[in-house]
Amino acid sequence: MSKSGENDIAPIKNLFNEWYSCDISKKRRISNKIKGNSGKPLGQPPYGYIQDPDDHKRWIIDDEAAAVVRRIYLMTLSGFGAEQIAGALEKDKILTPMNYWLSKGRKRAAG
C-alpha cells in the first residue's frame, strides 16, 4: 500500500480501535459488577483486613491493624482532626499501612 493509502484508512482504523476499546471497557465493567454483586472482592483487602489463607476470595479481620482502625474511628468520633490523629499515631510509633504490610511480608502497590 502506498503512503497516501495508509493515511486514507487511518481514520477507519482509529474508529475500529476506539470501538474495540469501548467494547472491552464495557465488558470489564459488567464483569466487575457481577463479581461485586456476588460478594467477590475486586482487589486487595484494605488496611484492617487480610486474605483468608483458606479462601483467597474472602477477607478476614486482621486483629492488629483493626485495633488501629478502631482507634482512629473512636478518635474521629471524639472530635479529633486528621492532623491530631496522625500525630497521636506517630507518637505511639504506629506504622503507616504501607510499612505495616511490608513488616508482615506483604507486598502492596503504592497508592
Residue (of 99, 61, 91, 97) closest to 75 by Cα position: 91
The pLDDT score that the predictor gives to residue 96 is: 93
pLDDT digits (tens, 9 = 90+) for 44-86: 899 999 989 898 888 999 999 999 999 999 999 999 999 999 9
Kindly state the cell numbers that stand for 89. 499515631
pLDDT digits (tens, 9 = 90+) for 14-51: 988 999 999 999 999 998 889 888 877 888 899 999 98
Check pLDDT > 80 for residue 6.
no
Domain ranges of the chain: 1-40, 41-111
**Residue pair 47/65 in contact by the 8 Å Cβ criterion:** yes
The pLDDT score that the predictor gives to residue 105 is: 87
The pLDDT score that the predictor gives to residue 40 is: 79
Range list of β-strands (E), 7-104: 49-52, 55-61
Gap between the Cα atoms of 23 and 17, Å rounded: 10
Q: Say what the pTM is.
A: 0.65
